Amino acid sequence: MKKNNRVKLILLICLLISSITFAKEDDEINGTYYRNIRGMGMGNSYTTSALNEAALLYNPAMLNYLKKTKWSVFSPGFGINADGMDSLSYLKEIIDDIGDDKLSEMNESEIFNYIKEKQKDMNNKMINGYTGNFTGILMKNIGFGVFAYGNIDKAGIENPVNPKLILNSSLNMDVPIGISTKFGPFRVGASARYINYLKTNAEITTTDFMNTSMQMFGATKHEGFGINIGSVIGGDRFRIGIAMQDAYTKIDVWEDSKTVYPKGHPKQGKIIPDDELDESELIAKYFSNEDLNENSEIPRYSTYYKGEQKVMPNLRVGMSIYPKKWLQLSADYENILNEDMDGDGSPDDNPYKKIHIGSEISILQDTFNLKLRLGINQGYPTMGVYAQPLYFMGKAPTWVKVVLFPAYLMREFEFELVDYTEELGPYAGMKPNHIKALGFSLRF
């Protein structure tokens, strides 16, 4: 009888995955996820190796493998690409000049030459980076926490003929709660997430600087709930698993637009007095030498509700083996559904972009708990290092723990570094993005 119940449960899970996977919708969008430094060092392999907070987002079934309860007080991480390191100072100069209102003193020709000169200095290099933090608690079969992170997807100046400043970024909050259990050899899990993030997609030309100097950045707000599911079979030596991020995730979208006048936001044709206009609208009005009204074609930002949209799911499979206690080998294959995960308008069907291979080698486990990580992400090598500098305090004599009590409290302090490369183009090898990142955590 118990065996039949297990078979029914497995079939139910398979049917659930199938129904969610193939229930396509027209208005699907790509989502955003927290970058985990351990996973980056291991080539972005997560499905059967996420034994930290990454389990809540990548495969909640891994919560069943946790052996100790961990409370993360803070766990910040920072990363920036190599091109960004070279050009960050130039972009900072532009932002500072905008903040100091220096560009308002220039005419259109001077602004054009100013941006063109900065574009020459940056040499078409785009900044890509992130910062993030996790605070929460993880224990066997259950986890809860708050991820707060920001991404710079693209920042820089392109097009030397008619230079344009680009800033695509996001501020994100992800609040998941995950549970898992074991049915025979299968570990299954699910996490429910509250999602709230703000995206900016600004492309600013010299005309924008002149006409809308105070309203040049539009934004899109996303808020909703999502479900991740996963299953793993195996023990301490070998595991194989399947997981689906955003198995069923729907979000409400609000968009700021200076070019779209959606239904429900009509222009009435009423002349707007000068005292009701902000500075940018006054500049636009007198620069164009015409009255500004709600029928005017002069761009003005309007916030409107775009509707409910479904986030595209990411179906992953993976495996891990532990040939030695000090060695872990992992591999993932993601986006089996060929969804447009990078939002470039075409399916991601290149198989080489989906391959992730990683390893973790543990040494000095009784002193610094040092771990070396090597991997291959989309054909590019990754490497990282992890250490707990005060780990040895956990096994120190009692009198040492008393005398050096602050150091004893910090024994779970973790430090991580990673050198990581990802593919930004549609095919592996087209547009590598080389990122260096560091992180540290305090856990109890």
Please give the full DSSP string across 216-266, using - where no structure is assigned. Answer: ---EEEEEEEEEEEEEEEE-SSEEEEEEEETTT-EEEEEEEESS---TT--
The pLDDT value recorded for residue 296 is 47
Residue 9: enclosing H or E segment and its boundaries?
helix 2-21
d(CA 111, CA 113): 5
- Among the listed residues 90, 77, 84, the one whose alpha carbon sits nearest the alpha carbon of residue 128: 84
The pLDDT value recorded for residue 19 is 44
Beta-bridge mates of residue 381: 376
The pLDDT value recorded for residue 94 is 77
427 φψ region: left (φ > 0), alpha (ψ -120 to 50), beta (else): beta
3-class secondary structure per residue, 285-304: HHHHCCCCECCCCCCCCEEE
d(CA 219, CA 165): 16
Q: How far is CA 282 from CA 207, 273, 276, 278, in A?
A: 15, 10, 9, 6
The pLDDT value recorded for residue 23 is 45
DSSP 333-366: E--TT---TT-SSS----GGGGEEEEEEEEE-TT
> Hey, is 161 helix, strand or coil?
coil
DSSP letter at 270 equals P
d(CA 62, CA 241): 9
The pLDDT value recorded for residue 1 is 44
DSSP 21-48: HT---TTEE----PPPHHHHHTTT--TT
Q: What is 25-258+301-443's CATH topology?
A: Porin (2.40.160)
Q: What tokens were used for 201? A: 């997609």
The pLDDT value recorded for residue 165 is 78
The pLDDT value recorded for residue 258 is 53
The pLDDT value recorded for residue 93 is 81
DSSP 46-62: -TTT--STHHHHH-GGG
- Among the listed residues 413, 343, 375, 341, the one whose alpha carbon sits nearest the alpha carbon of residue 46: 375
Q: Does the reported pTM lie above 0.75?
A: yes
Q: What is the pLDDT of residues 254-275, one digit of tens each?
A: 887 655 444 444 443 344 555 6
The pLDDT value recorded for residue 285 is 52
Q: What is the pLDDT of residues 338-387, one digit of tens each?
A: 887 777 667 778 888 899 999 999 998 888 999 999 999 999 999 999 99
- Among the listed residues 165, 247, 150, the one whose alpha carbon sits nearest the alpha carbon of residue 208: 165
Length of the chain: 444
Question: Rounded to the nearest 5°, which phi and psi values hold at 181?
Answer: -155, 175
Residue 171, burial from CB neighbour count under 10 angstroms (0-12, 13-18, 19+): middle
Residue 2: enclosing H or E segment and its boundaries?
helix 2-21
The low-confidence residues of the chain, meaning pLDDT below 70, are 1-27, 98-100, 103-104, 206-218, 257-303, 344-345
